Chains A and B, each alone.
Chain A
Amino acid sequence: MKEFNGKQIRQFVLEKVPTVTWILIVMMVYFSVSNSNFLTLDNAANLCRQGAILLILCLGVIVVKITGGIELSNGAVMSLCGMVMAWVMVNLNLPPFLAIIVSMIVGILFGTLNGVFVTFMGIPSFVATLGTQGIAVGLALGMNNGNVIGGLPEGFSAIGNGTLLNIPIPLWAIILVFVVTSVLLNKTPFGVYVYALGGNEEALKLSGKPAWLYKVLAYSYSGLTAGIAACILTSRNMAAQPTVGLGMEFEAFAGAVLGGSYIAGKGTALGGALGGIFILILRNGLNILGIPTYLQLAIFGTVLITAIVLSTLVERRVQKMRDEEREE
C-alpha cells in the first residue's frame, strides 16, 4: 500500500506536472526571499506587459517543437512584421487594425516559408529557420535603410498600453493565444496530426494522411504568433526597429524546450506558457537582484542550459520508469 502511494506521488511529481513547474517554484521562493519587491502586484502587472511578447512566441514555438522541429526565425520575423506594419501605417495611411492584419499575414508567410523549406526541400529545421532568420533580418534592415520607423498613429498605442475591462490588452492577447493553442492541440485534427508528426512521422505518412500539410501549418502557426507579438511590441515602443527581436528566438526556444523537453511529440500549451513564465521570472529576478546587464546574459545562458540538461535527465528517468512498469 505504502509503495503504491509512493509511486503515485512520484508519478504526479515527474509526469503529470511539467518539470519546469518545480524549478519555477524554487526560483520564485528564492527571489521573493532575497528581495521583497519581487512578490508584489506592481511587479506582476509589469511582468504581464513585458512578458506578453515572449509568452506568445513560446506558444507558437511549442507547436513546431512538438512536430520535432526547431524554430529559430521568429525573433527576426517579429522584427520584420513590426517594420512592415509600421511602414504601411506611415506610408499608406492604413488604419491600425488593417496594419495588424498585414503583420499577421507577413508572419504567416514567413512561417509557411519555413514549413516549405522543411517539408518540400528536406532541409533540417534549424538550418531552414536560420536561413529564414537571415532573410527576414536582411529585409527588415534593407527596407528602410536600417532606420527606425516612428511617427505611428496615436490610437495604435492602445494595443500595448491600454486596458480592456481593467485587464491589460497584452494579457488578453496571451489568454487568447493560449486558449487557441490549447484548443488547436487538444480538440482538433490539427493537434492530433501535430503530435503524430513528432511521435512517428513515417507512420503518419504511410497511413496516407497529408503529413506535409500539417507540418507546414505548424510552422505557419508559429509565424502567426510572431506577427501577433510584433503588434504588441511595436505598439509598446510606438516605433519599429529592424533588429529589435533578435535574441528573442533564443528565449522562446528555451521556454518551449523547458516547458516540454526537446523531445519530439511531447509538450502542451500549458508547458510552453510555463516555460515562458520561467524565463520571464528569471530575467525579472536578475534585474531585481541588481545584477549588471553584462553579467545577466552569461547567467541566463548557463541557467538555461543547466535547466535543459536537468529536464532531459528527468525525462529520461521517467521514460525508464515507464518501461520498467510495462515490464512488470
Chain B
Amino acid sequence: MNKKNNHAEAEVTEEVQLIHEKPSIGKVLSRFSRLGALLILCIGISLLNQNFLKTTNLINVFRQAAPQIIISLGMTIVFLTGGIDLSLGSVVTLTSVVSGYVLTQTNLPWWCAIIAAVGAGALSGFVTGQLIAIIKLPPAVASYGMLWVGRGLAFAIMGASPFFSFPDTFRYLGRGYFLGIPMPIWIVAIIALILGWFLKYTTLGRSLYAIGANPHAARASGIKLSKTLVSAYILSGMLAAIGGIILAARLNAVDQDMGASFLLPAIASPVMGGTSMAGGQGGVAGTIIGSLIMLVVTNGMNLLGINSLWQQLVTGIVVVLSVWLDVIMRKRN
C-alpha cells in the first residue's frame, strides 16, 4: 500500500515538474505567441490612433487594468483546480460595498476597511468552496448561486443609499503614486510576484496544479482534496476583494453593479493566457498578458470611437473564441 502511494506520489511530482520546469518548445512558443499577439495589437491600434502610445494613455490603461488583472489571477487559481468561480464579479461588488460601509458608516481607521473587505471575500470563497468540496455541487452551480447571495448581501448592506467620498489615505490605493508609478500597478506587481512564488514553490500551490491535473493521483499521493479545493476558492475570493478595494478607492464610490462586468473578462483573460479550464495548466504571467490583451482591445475600441454600449458584445465574442481555442489546443495535446 505504502509503495503504491509512493509510486503515485512520484508520478504526480513528475507531472507537476513537467508543468513547471520543462516547458516544451511548443509551450514556450505559445507563450511568446501571446506576447506577440499583444504587441501586434498594440502596434495596430497605435497606427490607427496616435493617442494610444502616449504615456498618459498607457498609464491609464495599466491603472484600469489593475482590478481586472487581480480578479483574473483569482480566477486562474480556480481554473488550475479544474473549477470555475462565477461569483467573482459579485464578490468584487460585495467587498467594495463592505469597505465602503466601514469607511463611511463607522469610525474605524481605513485599514480596517481593507481587512473587512478581504475577510468578506475569504468568507464568500470559503462558502463556495464548502458547497463544492463537501456538498459536491458542480462548481458552476455553487458559484452561480453564490453570485446572487453576494449581490443580495451587497444590496442589503448598502440599503437605499450608495457610499461615496472616502478618506484620502484609502483613495491613495487607487489614485496615488509611489516613485512616479501608480499604486494599483505596485499592488498588481507585488501580488503577481507573491502568487508566482506561491504557485511554484509551496506545497499548497503545487497541490492546486496536482488536483487539477489528476485528482485521483493527487489523492493517492496524500493531498487533501477538499482542503485544497476550499483554499483555492478562499484565495480567489481574497484576490477579488483586493480588486474590489482598488476599484472602490479609484472611483471614490461604490454601487450595486460595479463588479458584474468583471466576470466575463475574468474568464477570458486566464484562458487567453494559456490557463486551461480543465485544470492543471497555466500560471500568473499568462493571465497578466491575457488581461492586458482584453484591456488593450477595450481601450482601443474607446480610442477608435466605438460606442461603449457595444463592448459587452465584443467581450462575449472574445470569451467564446478564447475558450474555443483552449478546447482545440487541449485536443491537439
Contact = CB atoms under 8 A, between A and B. Distances in A.
B324 A121 contact: yes
A72 B144 contact: yes
Contact of A126 (B86, B131, B152, B160): B86
Interface stretch (B36-44, B220-228, B315-323): B315-323
Contacts of A131: 264, 316-317, 319-320, 323
Contacts of A302: 149, 152
B28 to A, nearest CB: 26
A104 interface: no
B155 interface: yes
B84 interface: yes
Given A300-B152, A301-B145, A121 B327 contact: yes
B307 interface: yes
Q: Count chain B CB atoms within 10 A of each CB in A121, A128, A134, A136 and give the residue with the most.
A: A134
Interface in B149-163: 149-153, 155-156, 158-160
Interface centre among B145, B155, B160 (most CB of A within 10 A): B145
A132 B152 CA distance: 24
Nearest to B271: A127
Given A138-B311, A294-B155, A301 B149 contact: yes
A124 interface: yes
A308 B145 contact: yes
A295 B118 CA distance: 23
Which of the listed residues A122, A130, A142 has the most CB atoms from chain B within 10 Å of its own CB?
A130
A179 interface: no
Given A294-B156, A298-B156, A300-B148, A142 B309 contact: yes
Size band of the A side of the interface?
A: 35 or more
Nearest to B146: A305
A308 B131 CA distance: 10
Nearest to B139: A126
B312 interface: yes
Given A70-B141, A127-B323, A309-B135, A135 B317 contact: yes
A289 interface: no
B1 interface: no
A134 B327 contact: no
Given A70-B140, A142-B313, A294-B158, A127 B148 contact: no
Interface in B269-290: 277
Contacts of A300: 148, 152
Contacts of A297: 148, 151-152, 155-156
A212 interface: no
A192 B148 CA distance: 34
**Chain B binding surface SS class:** helix
A123 interface: yes
Given A72-B144, A130-B264, A301 B327 contact: no
Contact of A250 (B144, B156, B310, B316): B144
A100 interface: no
Nearest to B128: A305
A122 B324 contact: yes
B23 interface: no
B126 to A, nearest CB: 14
Interface in A133-149: 133-139, 141-142, 145-146
B320 A298 contact: no
B313 A294 contact: no
A141 B320 contact: no
B84 A126 contact: yes
Contact of B313 (A72, A139, A146, A293): A139
B167 interface: no
Contact of A305 (B149, B151, B153, B263): B149
Interface residues of B, number: 45
Contact of A134 (B142, B156, B264): B264
Contacts of B86: 126, 130
B159 to A, nearest CB: 6
B267 A130 contact: yes
A293 B312 CA distance: 28
A243 B138 CA distance: 28
Nearest to A141: B309
A87 interface: no
A72 B140 CA distance: 11
A130 B317 contact: no
A134 B138 contact: no
B152 A130 contact: no
A145 B148 contact: no
* Residue with the greatest number of chain A CB neighbours at <10 A, chosen from B84, B140, B144, B151: B144
A294 B141 contact: no
A155 B155 CA distance: 38
A31 interface: no
A267 to B, nearest CB: 14
Nearest to B326: A123
B29 interface: no
Contact of B145 (A122, A293, A294, A305): A305
Nearest to A121: B324
Interface in A283-328: 293-302, 304-305, 308-309, 312-313
Interface of A: 70, 72, 117, 121-124, 126-128, 130-139, 141-142, 145-146, 250, 253-254, 257, 262, 293-302, 304-305, 308-309, 312-313
Given A134-B313, A134-B319, A308-B141, 4 more contacts: A131-B319, A132-B320, A257-B141, A295-B155
Nearest 7 A-B pairs (CB), nearest first?
A: A138-B313, A134-B316, A298-B152, A297-B152, A301-B148, A301-B149, A138-B312
28 contacts: A70-B140, A70-B141, A121-B324, A122-B331, A124-B84, A127-B84, A127-B323, A130-B264, A133-B316, A134-B264, A138-B311, A138-B315, A139-B313, A142-B310, A145-B309, A146-B309, A262-B137, A295-B155, A295-B156, A297-B148, A297-B151, A301-B148, A301-B149, A304-B145, A305-B146, A308-B141, A308-B145, A313-B135
Interface of B: 84, 86, 131, 135-138, 140-142, 144-153, 155-156, 158-160, 263-264, 267, 277, 307, 309-317, 319-320, 323-324, 327, 331
